[in-house]
Structure 1
């Protein structure tokens, strides 16, 4: 039995659904698009500390993190992007390049000499395409929604509705009426279980430094059949 998640985590997942919302500037620095201010970005930094440098301290210049000292949705978005990418690479049937935290790696030859190579048009919109300088392989960075049949925005919409208390039947009905997407009632639950398992693994493995004051939330999700 596992309790998950906070509203900030879910908003971070919503941010992650748009590839252009997260821009890597340099090692351990990202710009994350504001969800309330048009054309505004917040700077997220990751600093290694401890022996071996395997622990990280995260900061963001958004008001939520600066004044409330909370792990904000922008930090969660970057953390989930890194964790989901690593998890999907590990699940791939063929051997893939080892995950590199500080940059983009060619999935074919593992080279870090990667250049931007225009935009790729997909049924979900445009996404950044890259070319490997070593083997000339072209690819797009995996944001965690690889191999999913439906638009990432539809998936995160379903997750958002579910965590607001909307039933699976009403979620399926909403997608059909307003987005002309017909899915079974069990489909949103499969999406929920898939991403909560990934996030539960991440939360369990990466404990964050927090203050002494906690805010509770009534949302509880069970991602296993037995406790």
Structure 2
């Protein structure tokens, strides 16, 4: 009788089992989707800001931090044409002599730093990478930050071009406590516009960039003076390396 009953009611055999696995996997799939969506949203935001900053001079993340904590900020953005060529050359000489030759990242220098743990990381950081860090990222050493910094530097070097990259860098670089950009630094330390800087003054400003809170362009220590003299002496030999900054 039992076998006949089962044959007479085949629908009983065809009843599906409860879809517990599907119900359980639903939240997991949504969570994975959200996790994958976050990087995509971040990329879109960064690229949107990059397009905006191609025309509008951005603040640095340090400036934003000071504003949020109600600390004073000195900064007046100026175009590259109103920044003395001497300062452009001094910064290129001191920070990134391959600025006009690389594509935003000096992979040879990066490889040397990876192979030599005692190498100074700043030696591998191009002006494009420093600009990306100043505008989009946070200070301090981090593999995560570097993993974001490198592709952004490559992208923005192409998107902005060399002149715009240097223009933004010189308008967000820190030159003292709360002092950002070449114009504010020139007025604060030398009481003149950035367009009127001499080669010696430009070399002093370039000499303090690695540590502008400890070093001072207006009250330079003997070490800063020696470094500035080295930069000024090299500027005559590196002048041809700045061709991408000339119109």
Tell me if TM exceeds 0.5: no
Greater strand percent: which structure? 1
Name the TM-score, length of structure 1 as normaliser: 0.30
Name the TM-score, length of structure 2 as normaliser: 0.28
Structure exhibiting the larger radius of gyration computed from Cα positions: 2
Greater helix percent: which structure? 2
